[in-house]
Structure 1
Amino acid sequence: MRALLVFFAVLTARPALAETLIQNACLGNAYESCFVLIEGQIEPGLTDRLRSLIETEGVDGGVIYLNSPGGTLGEALRLGRYIREQGYDTAIGGSDGIPRHTDGKPIFLGSEGPSPGRCESACAYVFMGGVRRFLSERDKLGLHQFFAPGQQIGGEVAQKFSGDLVAYMVEMGVDARIFTLASAQDSTGMYYVTQPQAEEYDLVTRVGYDAFFLEPYKDGLIAASKRIDPPQPYDGVDQMSFYCRAGQPYALLHASVHALSPEERGSPIFWTDNIEQKLPEDAVSVRVDGDDAYLTIRISPPQAQAMAAAGTFAIGAGYGRVIGGNYVAAKKPTPLDRRMLDAAFRFCID
């Protein structure tokens, strides 16, 4: 067993480079504009360095960007598990083209966030550690077989090694069928996962809201849609519902992550097809029940019709950042979604 663990620890895909960069950066003074960049080789001790940064200096933001050609697989799995344990999301991005300090570290300011990057070989397994995982079309996520320099991988060791990797993928909520794509490539090749494959194999996290469903209530109907990804700080709404009462259309948003109180009315936010729809300031009311907050937003019948016909819409209320910022739900409705919204607004609940 000890020999296997040593072997597993030295599996690699690239020769060692200069020390890997770990940097916490913010594009502004908002929590959601902050991130950690890990750029370079996945090298032994990288998990301890990240832990030290988090525990000693503190880290702002909830996303870790990765830009790496690979490295030590044992460290990659350790780092991926630590990222999951700490509740961070992962994305791919680097510092190419970003201005530098005199010491060579990138300067992230304003809109100059991470540039497109690559996450290959061992890095792909770090990426899997994110609670939520994001991959843009400009980024590269690469998989291939691993190797131990100067060693031949025997059948028994290869079988145990493959089982450990598959178990890790299952642990991280990734479809282990992706392992077959990696296994089909030799150690010098690289298979780059396409966006549809990343979605099919659960390498990336679906975000936004699921399809609407109808619920009968009294003599009417309520159309509701649940959020697919977990709510986050400053993005705490996890369900939107729409209904009509006494001829008046309403939106009801549920927030499970919030700092709201009934005294805070908020400013209404309502857009259809990128066109702002004006609502009166008293259109928003809040009810707090323990850890749950409910925002009721009153809209006019013509606005309800516009929303049911829109290609996209967003509705919610804006507050100061100290109590959570904007509480908004947005969706690109399908034709069936539109029919359900129309039914909810036509068949009032009383």
Structure 2
Amino acid sequence: MKRGIRLALGLAALATLGAKPATDPLNPTCPLHPNWSTNPTMVLTPVERNGVKILLAEGRVDAGLPDRLEAALAAHPGIAEIWLSSPGGDARAGNEAGRIIRRNLGLTTRIPSGSACFSACNFVFMGGIPRYVDPGGLFIVHMFTRTGDRSTIDMSVAMGTDATTELIGDVEQDAALLASEDNDFLIRMGVSRKLLTDVMYQQKAVKGSGPDQSTRRCLTREEVLKYGVDSTDTTGGG
């Protein structure tokens, strides 16, 4: 019965597929305009689809998400799936939200057809067991970094060498801590650590001036299975 419900959900998602979107010339593995929610903070909305109770999680991953997620799951104990559409946001809030989902064993996460899950959203998604990236759904990764905040960089340069050196030291320390946290998180979630070394950490942190200006990567269907992102097949390991 449960398998039939999931099949119905998958077929419903496939029905929303349209024409192939234009490719982003700077990020050729991705569409020009990934379809994620533009809500400034992630909105959690309980709905029912084909008899299944679903929590729509749409918008930016903000610092308050873990508390709101925990409250939403407590208020709606019948939730079976979380459907994600997000441009990312607070990396550590994403990790904590993923842990909350994992503590609710058997809670499915899904990136439905036509939706995209980027950056910190990846870690929210990885908390689910099982996890599904539907055909037409996008799991998009990049290199996590604080150097994406150009205003902070410009300000430190204007203040002089000492300020810039201090910023570089802070960035390096924070990046090392976040990398360690990400590695631990993937191990606990049953996702291959090679997703970090082979894909995420191979991306540029910020767009440069050279011929390759890509800063994000959309995983193929083969890759989401290889690295265990989609738990339909978790043979990737490692």
Shorter chain as denominator, the TM-score bin is 0.5 to 0.7
* Identity across matched positions, percent: 25
Partner of 1:159: 176
In the alignment, is the contact (CA less than 8 A) between 1:24 and 1:59 conserved in 2? no
The unaligned stretches of length 5 or more in structure 1 are 1-15, 94-114, 208-350
The unaligned stretches of length 5 or more in structure 2 are 1-37, 153-166, 207-214, 234-238
Q: Which of 24, 38, 42 pairs up with 2:46? A: 24
Comparing both chains, which one has the higher relative contact order based on Cα–Cα distances under 8 Å and sequence gaps of 6 or more?
2
Question: 1:182 and 2:200 equivalent?
Answer: yes
Question: 1:69 and 2:78 equivalent?
Answer: no
Q: CA deviation at 1:202?
A: 0.8
Normalising by structure 2, report the TM-score.
0.65
TM-aligned CA distance change 1:36 to 1:186, over 3 Å: same
Number of positions where the alignment pairs a residue of Structure 1 with one of Structure 2: 167
DSSP-derived class of the 1:91 partner: strand
Q: Which of 187, 198, 201 pairs up with 1:170? A: 187
Bigger radius of gyration: 1
Q: For residues 92-136 of structure 1, what are the alpha-carbon distances to aligned partners after superposition, in whole Å with 9 as ceiling and x for unaligned?
A: 13xxxxxxxxxxxxxxxxxxxxx5200001101111111111012
Partner of 2:136: 138
Write the distance in 2 (CA, Å) between the matches of 1:83 and 1:141: 18
Partner of 1:54: 73
In the alignment, is the contact (CA less than 8 A) between 1:92 and 1:134 conserved in 2? yes
Write the distance in 1 (CA, Å) between the matches of 2:39 and 2:231: 31
Runs of 4+ in 1 over 4 A off after TM superposition: none
Q: CA deviation at 1:159?
A: 2.6
Q: Which of 37, 40, 54 pairs up with 2:56? A: 37
Matching residue's letter, 2:177: K
Matching residue's letter, 1:24: P
Q: For residues 191-249 of structure 1, what are the alpha-carbon distances to aligned partners after superposition, in whole Å with 9 as ceiling and x for unaligned?
A: 11111111111111127xxxxxxxxxxxxxxxxxxxxxxxxxxxxxxxxxxxxxxxxxx
Partner of 1:285: none
TM-aligned CA distance change 1:154 to 1:41, over 3 Å: closer
TM-aligned CA distance change 1:17 to 1:186, over 3 Å: farther
Matching residue's letter, 1:58: H
Q: CA deviation at 1:156?
A: 4.2
Give the RMSD, CA atoms, in angstroms. Answer: 1.9
Q: CA deviation at 1:157?
A: 3.8
TM-aligned CA distance change 1:18 to 1:164, over 3 Å: closer
TM-aligned CA distance change 1:157 to 1:71, over 3 Å: closer
Q: For residues 150-200 of structure 1, what are the alpha-carbon distances to aligned partners after superposition, in whole Å with 9 as ceiling and x for unaligned?
A: 254544443332121111101100000000211111235111111111111
Q: CA deviation at 1:50?
A: 1.5
Matching residue's letter, 2:70: R
Structure with more helix by fraction: 2
